[in-house]
Amino acid sequence: MRPRTLAPLLLPTISLGAAEHLRFDSSYQTYEEANGRIAVESWYYRGEMNLTDETLFKFQLLRDAISGASPTGALPGGTQPFLSDVEDVRNGILGALSHQFGDHRVEVEFSRSKEHDYLSYGLSLSDRWELNQKNTTLSMGLNYLDDSIVVLGIEDQSKKSYDLFFGVTQLLDKNTVLAANLTVGYSEGYLNDPYKAIQRTDIVSVSDGMGGMIDFPTTNLYRENRPDSRLRGVLQLQGTRFFDKFQAALDATVRLSTDDYGVFSQSLQVEWRQALGSRLELTPFFRYYRQNAADFFHNTLDDVSVADPAEYPSGRGPHYSADYRLSSMSSLSLGLKARWRVSDNISLSAAYELYDMSGTGSQQAPAQAYPTASIWTFGVTIEF
């Protein structure tokens, strides 16, 4: 079932007056990289309603507009363009229906996301099981994505992704909560980015008119070739502690991820949520991320033994990519979030984040590939 058909099936049978709780959340976000490279505007509309005491319906609509230029994979300063123009709009919809069965809350979720060259359908099934007088919560579930990618020159390509996750949340005391989540995922099909390339210096030989040959080096671009499958695992550990004396909470999250691309990443995020009076909350935060390069990351094909790169790589080896997102790199985010409860039913929020990425080690992309960006978010929440 497509997600956009879920709401019409439910909403006509439940009047707004019959719903015990309504909550709407709308936000607007801008992402702007330095030097005008990439700009993204995002609009989000979220809502939830209690259809009965045990049944909850949630939905989300989103729209992203992106414009600017993104690194192609070519080296800067050469004959091939380092940046290529990007312009697209993404529209997405998500609907989720959950029901309480005793100590279990079971949820089914449908999603659809559409760009001019990308179409994705998603299905998720999960269960939250409360134990130990609700001091312990176990969560488990399955996610499935079915994607279709437009690749110019050949027929549309497909990608399928499967995720299995398990988590546990434990209340240690009235002020302390610990959580651990493990996700194992597998993707197969077309995993290349159709807009990323890698350059190679080729030799063109021409006659000198006197029976000899003259060699001319030329720089050509070839499509990247990633493996046609990817197995990954993600472990996330989170702890939250509330301090009565300061009317504040400290939240720390550690995330470890690995995959058979050879990428191992680590991230740490820390937030301090500070209440100022009964209506205002300020949250300064920082996030640090680092990863090593994929086994097949190269800045040029000159370092790869491949006689004739395929015009449309199929995922069979040898593999190669110059995508900076697969290089050895790190990023740092610093920001501040604010939330102001205007009344019992209306809240306003705003956030600013400074994001900076840079290469590390010997397997990094050119410095010009890594972005620095400013991110602004504004939102409003209405409850009935």
Segments of the chain with pLDDT less than 70: 1-20
Residues in Cβ contact with 330 at an 8 Å cutoff, skipping those fewer than 6 apart = 288, 289, 290, 291, 357, 358, 360
Residue 19 is predicted with a pLDDT of 52
Residue 129 is predicted with a pLDDT of 98
The CA distance from 272 to 251, in Å, is 6
pTM of the entire predicted model: 0.90
Maximum alpha-carbon separation in the chain: 92
Residue 204 is predicted with a pLDDT of 83
Q: What is residue 366's three-state secondary structure?
A: coil
Give the total residue count for the chain. Answer: 384
Residue 6 is predicted with a pLDDT of 29
Cα Rg of the chain, angstroms: 25
> Which of 370, 338, 376, 369 is CA-nearest to residue 354?
376
- Between CA 69 and CA 78, with CA 74 as vertex, the angle to 5 degrees is 105
